[in-house]
Amino acid sequence: MKHKLKKAAAAGIICELLYFLSVTVFLLTKHDIALTVWELMTVAGAVVMLVGMLVFSEAYSTGAIHRRLLTVSLAGTMIVTSVAHFTSIGVVRPLAAQGAAIPEYLKIGTFPSLEMTLDYTAWGFFMGAAFLIMFLGIKEKTLKNISVVCSVLCFIGFVDSFFNENLWYVAVSGYGFGFLIMCIYVLKKPHEKK
C-alpha cells in the first residue's frame, strides 16, 4: 500500500505542476494550441485527482460508505469538466475557426457561459463535496485539516462565482494548491495503515 500511496502522491504533484505550467504558457502566448493543452490538462487533472484521492482515502482507513460517496463526487468532477472541455475543443472552437457565429454564452473562458458554469460546478461544487467527504471519513488529522480547508475554499469560490467571476479563484486555491499540498504531505509522510 505504501508504494501505491507514494505513486499516487507523485502523480498528483507532477500533474499539478504540468497543469500550472500549461496555464502559464497559455497566459503568456494566448495561442490556440496552448489553450487545448490547458483544457486537456484540466481533464487529466480530474482523472489524477480521482485516483489519488481514492488511494489516499483507502490508505488512511476511510470507511466504505465514504469511499463510495467520494467516488461519486470525484466522478462528477471528472465527467462534468470533461463535457465542458471536450465540447470546447471538439465543437465550439472548431466552429468558431470556421467562421460560425458562436454566442458568448457558449464559449469557455467567457462569463457567464454554459461551459464556465459546467466547469465551476465540476471544480467548485463536486470537488468541494469530495474534499468534504474526505474530511468526514479520513482518520489522519493533517489530511483531515487539508481536506476541510480545500472544501470550504471550493464551495466559497463556487457560490461567489454567481456574484463575481473573479471570486471564483478562491476555489482554484482549494482544489489546485490544496491538492498539491495534500500530495506533498502524503509523499513526505512515513505511512502505516491505521
Q: For residues 87 and 120, is the Cβ–Cβ distance under 8 A? A: no
Neighbouring C-alpha atoms within 13 Å toward the C-beta of 162: 7
How much of the chain exceeds pLDDT 90, in percent?
Answer: 84
Domain extent listing, the chain: 2-188
Residues of the chain with pLDDT under 50: 193-194
Q: How far is CA 78 from CA 50, 91, 158, 163, in A?
A: 8, 19, 16, 25
Query: Each residue of 72-95: pLDDT tens digit?
Result: 999 999 999 999 999 999 999 999
User: What per-residue confidence (pLDDT) applies to 55?
Assistant: 95
Q: How far is CA 167 from CA 22, 44, 96, 129, 162, in A?
A: 22, 24, 28, 19, 9
Q: For residues 81 and 42, is the Cβ–Cβ distance under 8 A? A: yes
User: What per-residue confidence (pLDDT) applies to 165?
Assistant: 83
User: What per-residue confidence (pLDDT) applies to 1?
Assistant: 66
User: What per-residue confidence (pLDDT) applies to 191?
Assistant: 58
User: What per-residue confidence (pLDDT) applies to 194?
Assistant: 45
